[in-house]
Structure 1
Amino acid sequence: MKKGFILETLISLLVLLLTYASLSKILEFEKFVFQLGLSPFHLLSSNAYLVALLVPLVEISIIILLMIKRTKLIGLWSNLFLMSIFTVYIAAMLLSGSELPCTCGGIISKMSWVQHLYFNLFFIAASVIAILLIHRKDRDIKVLT
């Protein structure tokens, strides 16, 4: 019971984050494209429009995966991968010394790069804990049968 509550709480937090993030990118699409175009990383800046289309689509896809019982684990692994990519990007921005604005949109864009790094690490940890809880829950069910 307790594990199930923790798992559903973590998944709900991830869904909330991804919903907010994807909607803010969609609602501020031109700004998102512009900010991606400013990236010091050529691969990202030269493909800003494509990336701006794909990121919210991937985020929405992960939301759907997380909301379906059969695909929750795939959604969690997908979220972990996506958040890890975002976190590597943030670390690279910190190391580059660039003073560019965050491309996240909404209130999250008001964070400093360091705050954003910790924010992402929290959600990476939430994904890992949820994955472990699902694996433990599956193992517990197999023991009972």
Structure 2
Amino acid sequence: MSSKNFNNYIISAIKLLLGMLFIYTATGKLMHLDIFQMRLEQMPYISPLASSLKWLVPFAELVIVGLLLIGKYRALGMYASFILLGLFTMYIMAVLRFNEHVPCSCGGVLSALSWRDHILFNGAFMLLALTAIRLSRKGNKDKPQNQNTT
């Protein structure tokens, strides 16, 4: 297997993992919208935005999935994945610095994670997104450029 094929395989695997993560989290939020909003209302600093965030967050997650699925927008989806995970991780870290107890707005399996585990989990997915971005950029550098000789 050539390195280009291997890189494409790795990028596809990361794209699949990110897509599954965002589909899982978005559908969990949408299926239990009232609980998600209640948890957002309990979160420090963002509680006034809860009614907007209850729609914005799952919508953004589903848009990211769409970007990951469309070839020419895949890189944008990877960047958006990295940014959304980074924003959430920075928020968790900031809140934990000033508050002992922070309610989790996650659903399903992710709600069982400690905040430290959430940070590690998000960090791992951020590293995956960065890996895919880097491999994609490397692949684009290796592509021959169309040159007009006229």
Q: TM-score range by the shorter chain?
A: over 0.9
Amino acid across the alignment from 2:81: N
Q: If you compute each CA radius of gyration, which structure gives the higher value, 1 or 2?
A: 2
The alignment status of 1:2 with 2:6, answered yes or no, reads yes
Match of 2:32 in 1: 28
The 5 Å alignment of 1:37-116 reads 37-41=41-45, 44-116=46-118
Inter-partner Cα distance in structure 2 for 1:77 and 1:28: 28
Q: Among all aligned residue pairs of Structure 1 and Structure 2, give the percentage whose two residues are the same amino acid.
A: 30
Residues 40 and 50, structure 2, Cα contact 8 Å, conserved in 1? yes
Residues 94 and 114, structure 1, Cα contact 8 Å, conserved in 2? no
Question: Normalization by structure 2: what TM-score?
Answer: 0.91
The 4+ residue runs of structure 1 with deviation greater than 4 A are: none
Gap runs ≥5 in structure 2 = none
Match of 2:120 in 1: 118
Provide the aligned C-alpha RMSD in A.
Answer: 1.5
Residues 22 and 61, structure 2, Cα contact 8 Å, conserved in 1? yes
Inter-partner Cα distance in structure 2 for 1:142 and 1:113: 46
* Offset, 1:110: 1.1
Match of 1:134 in 2: 136
Question: Normalization by structure 1: what TM-score?
Answer: 0.94
Inter-partner Cα distance in structure 2 for 1:125 and 1:54: 24
1:109-138 per-residue CA deviation (whole Å, 9 max, x = no partner) reads 111000000000001001100000100111
Inter-partner Cα distance in structure 2 for 1:76 and 1:131: 6
Inter-partner Cα distance in structure 1 for 2:73 and 2:96: 34
Give the total of aligned pairs.
143
